[in-house]
Structure 1
C-alpha cells in the first residue's frame, strides 16, 4: 500500500554542536515523514537526539548548533528559509509544546498577555478580539476559571495547568502540525490521562498532524500511528506502532520496553533520629487582585505534619496542584509558611535569610526542571561548585574545580565535561549535574522535586540507582516528591498522599501501595495500574 504524501519530510538530517571539547554530533542522518492528520511518535533514551531533531526542523537550535540535510514542509526546506519566512510558518503552520513549560512561559507576564500577543501578531486581531480568542482557548483546554487565570502569572499555576496553557498557546493559530515535546512528563497519572485525551480530541476536531516526542511508551501505544526509535542520533527502528511495540526487531527497542525501576527500600529503625520535622505547616498564596478586584486566598498546604528520619526516604505523591512541591519548599524555608519547621531539633521557622544561610548546605533541593535551574551562562564546573563560594569561601579556584570534578564523578559523569554548558547535555545528564550541585555541599537532607519526571524509563532506573547509592554512602535523608508511583515505590520506605494541600493518607510504602484505605489513594493506584496495562498489552 502506498504511503500518503507527507506534509513534513525530514531527510538526511544532521545536527552538531561546537563545544570547548570539540564538535558533538547529536543527530546523524535521520529520515522522518509525517502525513496530514497522522500522529508519529519519536522515542529513545535521553540524549538520543529526539528533541534536537525537531528543534532543528523548527530552526530553534542553540547558537552553537548547526543542521544540514532537508526538512521539507509542503515543498519548502525549512533549513534554508530566511528569518521572515520561517517566522511566518513557526507558530502559525507548525507549533510546538515544549518539554519544560515553566521555562517557556515568561514569568513577568500574565497568562492572558502571553496568549494574546502571538494571536495579534499572526492574525492581526484587535486586542479585544485577541483577548476573546485567548479566553476561548483556555476554555478549550479546560483550564478552570479561565477568566481569572487570564490574570494569573505562571508561578501561580500548577504543572498540569501550565501545560494546558502551553497547549493553548500552541493551538492559538490553528497549526497544521503540532510538535509535542514530552508534554506530560511532569504530570501525575490522572492529569496525564486528561491531557492525552484532550490532545486526541483536539486533533480529531482540528485535523492536525502530531509529532509526539516522548520516553513514555504507554503514551506511544495510546496515541501514535507510527513510531521512530532513536539511539545515539540515529533511527534504529521504525514502523506501525502495534508492530514495533509488540514485536520489536532491535535489541535497543526491546531494552526500552523492559526498563522499569526495581527493588524497594526497607524502613529505617524507629530509633533513627529525626532530622527534619514539620508541625502543622501551612502555606497560603494571595492570587489575583488589582483595580477594583479583591485578592483570593489559596491554601496550598493545609496543616501538614511530617517527621523525616536519618536515612529515610519519604515519598510525597498526589495530583498536580495538591501541594507536594510547595510543602517541600516550605520544609526548606524557601517560602513563607505558618506552623513550625525543625532541622536537627532546632526551630528554624522564624529564621531570616542571614540566619538560614549557614544551614543551607545541610538542606539541599534538586529541582523538577534541571534545565531551568542551571544557568546557561555558566559551565557545568562553575554550576556544581557555585555553592562552595558561599559556604567555603576560603577555597581556591583550583580546589573548587577539583571538588566539582569529584562531585561529577560521583554522579557518574565524566569530569572532563565540566567545561561544557548545560544545553550541550541530555535531560538525564542535566539531572545528574543538578544532583552533583546538591551533593558537593555534603547535605544531610535533600528534597528531590520530581527528579526523574522528564527522563525515559531506562535513565530513570539509572537515577534511582544513583540516588539510592548516594543515600547508602552518605546516610542521606530524602523527601522524594513525584507523580510517578513506580519510582516512588522503588525509592521510598514511607509515603504521604496529598490532596488539596492536606495529607489524606500516610504509611509504610508497601502498605500504601498494596492496601490503600482512602478512595483517592485507590484512584491514584488504579490509574498507575491502567498505564502499566497499556505498556504490557
Structure 2
C-alpha cells in the first residue's frame, strides 16, 4: 500500500504529546503545573523547551517518563512511536526508560548515589538493558567517559561523586544517558553546571551523536544563547502553558508573544565603575598553593598522586572592587576563593585588612568570619530545610553578636530581607517554599546581615533563569554601591562576569594565565586559552542544527 503524506508524518513523529495536564495536590489545594499542552518531536530533531523556573518545562517531561512526585497526577496523551506512555505499567515503562528514552537531570549531585563509584552507576543501565557482566560494561564506561571528556577516565571510573567537580559529575550523567544509544534524549538543563568550553564540547558531542544515531533531543534550558545555537524548533512555556512555538529562527528573530520578548531581553547588561585608584587593598594572597593528595586504587592499579589545585597564585582585591575569576571546571577557581577565606589548607601568604592571617588559628579567625562571607552556588543545598528563613538569616548574628535581643535580631532580618527585595513576612517560611532565585536572595541576605567587607560569590547565578540572573546582578551591584563591598565573583558564565566585574582573572590548571581590566580581557584577550573561552561563550554559530556543519 502506498503511504499518504499523513501516514509519513506519523511515522516521522517519535514523540506526540497531546492535552497533557499535570496537577500536584498540596495542603493549600491543587497546583496546576501543566495545563493541557501539545508537543511533537520528530526523528533526528532537536526541540527546545524554554521558560522561567516554574513554567512547567521539567514537569512535562517527568510526567511522560513516569517520574512525577507522589502527589502528582497526570492526564492526557504522550505517545512514543505510537505507544501510549501515560498509564503504562511500571514494568513495561522500565523497558523504555534508560534504553529508548533517557534523561539527563539538572543537578547531578542529587541524581548520583554518593555511596557507589560513578563507573558502577553508569554501568547499571548497560547491564540491565543489554545484559553481560559489570566487568564487560566497565570497558564501555571508560569509552563513554572519554567520549564526554572526563580526564583520566580509567582512574575516574573508580571515583565517588563527591570526588569530582560539578562539571565532571554532569558529564557522568551525560555518559549514563548515552550508554544505550537512546532514540530520545531528554536533557534537562544539562549544561548549567559546566564552563563555557565544556558546554560547547558537550553540545557538539550531542549534535554529533544525534546525527550519527538518528537520535532526537528534547532540550530544556533557560540559556537562550545555547538554545539559539542548538535547537531546530522551540516551545516557549509560561505558567504551565505553551505561549509560542515555531522554528528557532522564527521565535528568536520575530517573537510574537510579550513573554518571549521579555526572555530574549533578559541578558545581564551594563557594567560597574572601577574602584578609586587609591582604594585600600582589603584582601591579598601571595604565592597561594593548594595541593590535594589522591590515594591509589587497590584493584585498579593506579598510583597515588598529588594534584596541584592552586599553583603559585597571587591576587589583590581593593575596597569596592569586583574581581571575576573564570576558567574551566577544575581550574582552581573555587579552591582559590576558599583558600583566601582560610577555609581550606593552603601554602602562601594571605592578608586581610592589613593583617597577616596566613597562620591564624580557628579561634583567631572566628571574629573575622563576619567580615569574610561566602555565597554558594546551590542555595537550596546551603540552606537548612529544617530552619525558617528568619532563623537562617540571623544564625550568624547569634554567633557574632550574642548580646542582641530576639526583637533586634528580628528587626535586622526584616531589614536584610527588604534590602534583597523579599517580603519580610518570608522570614516565617521555609526554603522549599521559594523559587531558586528567591532562595539565592535569602543566601545573599544571610551574608549581608553581618555587614561584611569581602564576599566570595561562588557561581551564585549559574542555576538561575536569565531574567532572574539579571535581577541578581543588579541587586549585587546595588548592595556593593551602598555598602562599599568587595567581591570575588567566581563563574563560568562570562556574560554575568562582564556585567558585574571590573577586573578579570583567567585560571587554567591551578594557575593564572591572564588577568586585566574587564574590557581588555573580553575585547582583546592575549592568550589562546582566553580567546577559546571567549569564542565558546560569545560565538553565535549554530551547533548541530539542520544544515549546520
Alignment correspondent of 1:285: 292
Which residue is equivalent to 2:372?
363
* Matching of residue 181 in structure 1 with residue 188 in structure 2: yes
Structure 1 CA distance for aligned equivalents of residues 90 and 471 of structure 2: 41
Partner residue of 2:353? 344
Deviation at 1:442, TM superposition (A): 2.5
Q: Partners in 2 of 1:56 and 1:182 — Cα distance?
A: 17
**Which of residues 409, 418, 436 is equivalent to 1:427?**
436
CA shift digits 1:99-134 (9 cap, x unpaired): 222333334432222223343344443221222222
Contact 1:20 1:419 in 2 (8 A): no
Give the superposition deviation at 1:426.
3.3
Cα offset, 1:315, TM superposition: 0.8
Q: Determine the structure 2 residue equivalent to 1:11.
A: 18
Structure 1 residue 82 displacement after superposition? 4.5
Match for residue 528 of structure 1? Answer: 537
Residue 307 of structure 2: aligned partner: 298
Q: Structure 2 unaligned segments of length 5 or more: list them.
A: 544-549
Could you say if the C-alpha distance between residues 327 and 94 of structure 1 is closer, same or farther in structure 2, counting changes exceeding 3 Å?
same
Of 43, 52, 60, the residue aligned with 1:45 is: 52
Q: 2:228 aligns with which of 199, 221, 242?
A: 221
**Contact between 1:301 and 1:323, CA under 8 Å: does it hold in 2?**
yes
Provide Cα deviations, 1:309-330, integer angstroms capped at 9, x if missing partner: 2211111112222211111121
Could you tell me which residue of structure 1 aligns to residue 546 of structure 2?
none
Give deviations 1:292-317, integer Å, cap 9, x for gaps. 64211111111111111221111111
Q: 1:380 to 1:66 in 2, by over 3 A?
A: farther
- 1:242-257 to 2 correspondence within 5 Å? 242-257=249-264
Partner deviation per Cα, 1:119-170 (whole Å, 9 max, x = no partner): 3344443221222222222133232321011122334434433222111011
Are 1:57 and 2:36 counterparts?
Answer: no
Matches within 5 A, 1:438-457: 438-457=447-466
* Larger Rg computed on CA atoms: 2
- What's the RMSD between the two structures over aligned residues? 2.8
Distance 1:177 1:378 in 2: 41
The residue that corresponds to 1:269 in the other structure is 276
Aligned to 2:547: none
- Residues 1:475 and 2:484 aligned together: yes
Following the alignment from structure 2 to structure 1, what is the Cα–Cα distance between the partners of residues 247 and 270? 33
TM-score by length of 2: 0.88
| Contact kept in structure 1, 2:20 and 2:78, CA below 8 Å | yes
| In 1, Cα distance between equivalents of 2:426 and 2:36 | 25
Q: 1:97 to 1:378 in 2, by over 3 A?
A: farther
**Counterparts of residues 370-409 of structure 1 (less than 5 Å):** 370-393=379-402, 403-409=412-418
Q: Which residue of 2 aligns with 1:309?
A: 318
1:328 match: 337
Moved more, 471-480 or 283-292: 283-292
State the shift of 1:449 in Å: 1.3
Relative to structure 2, which stretch is displaced further, 246-255 or 192-201? 246-255
The 1-side partners of 2:421 and 2:26 are apart by 21
Superposed CA deviations along residues 259-284 of structure 1, whole A, max 9, x for unmatched, are: 32221111111322222211111111
Residues 120 and 134, structure 2, Cα contact 8 Å, conserved in 1: no
- C-alpha contact 2:229 2:541 (8 A) present in aligned 1: no
Does structure 2 retain, via aligned residues, the 8 Å contact 1:273–1:309? yes
Give the C-alpha shift of residue 49 in structure 1.
2.3
Deviation at 1:492, TM superposition (A): 0.9
Q: Does 1:260 align with 2:267?
A: yes
Deviates more, 1:224-233 or 1:50-59: 50-59
Residue 102, structure 1, aligned to residue 109, structure 2: yes
The answer on whether the counterparts of 1:21 and 1:420 sit within 8 Å (CA) in structure 2 is: no
CA contact (8 A) 2:229 2:542 kept: no
With over 3 angstroms needed to count, the CA separation of the structure-2 counterparts of 1:30 and 1:422, relative to structure 1, is farther
- The answer to whether residue 513 in structure 2 is matched with residue 504 in structure 1 is yes
Matched, 1:167 2:174: yes
Task: Compute the displacement of 1:405 (Å).
Answer: 4.5
Aligned counterparts of 1:405 and 1:171: Cα–Cα separation in 2: 48
8 Å CA contact 1:19–1:420 kept in 2: the answer is no
In structure 2, the CA distance between the partners of 1:414 and 1:61, relative to structure 1 (3 Å rule), is farther
Displacement of 1:202: 1.5
472-481 or 108-117, larger mean C-alpha shift = 108-117
The answer to whether the Cα contact below 8 Å between 2:311 and 2:511 also exists between their aligned partners in 1 is yes
Question: How far apart are 1:66 and its partner, in Å?
Answer: 4.3
**Contact 2:108/2:173 (CA < 8 Å) preserved in 1?**
yes
Say if 1:528 and 1:126 are closer, same or farther in 2 by CA, change over 3 A.
closer
- Residue by residue, what CA displacement relative to the aligned partner does 1:419-469 show, whole Å, maximum 9, x if unpaired? 555444433233223222322332221111122222233222111101111
Q: Label 1:386 to 1:234 Cα distance change in 2 as closer, same or farther (>3 A).
A: farther
1:217-265 CA-partner distances (Å, limit 9, x unpaired): 2322222221101122221101222222222211221222233222111
Aligned residues: 535
Match of 2:137 in 1: 130
Counterparts of 1:326 and 1:341 in 2: how far apart (Å)? 14
Partner of residue 497, structure 2: 488
Q: Which residue of 2 aligns with 1:157?
A: 164
Cα separation, partners in 2 of 1:342 and 1:181, compared to 1, 3 Å:
same
Counterpart of 2:446? 437
Aligned to 1:365, the other structure's residue is in SS state strand
Deviation of the 1:80 alpha carbon: 2.8
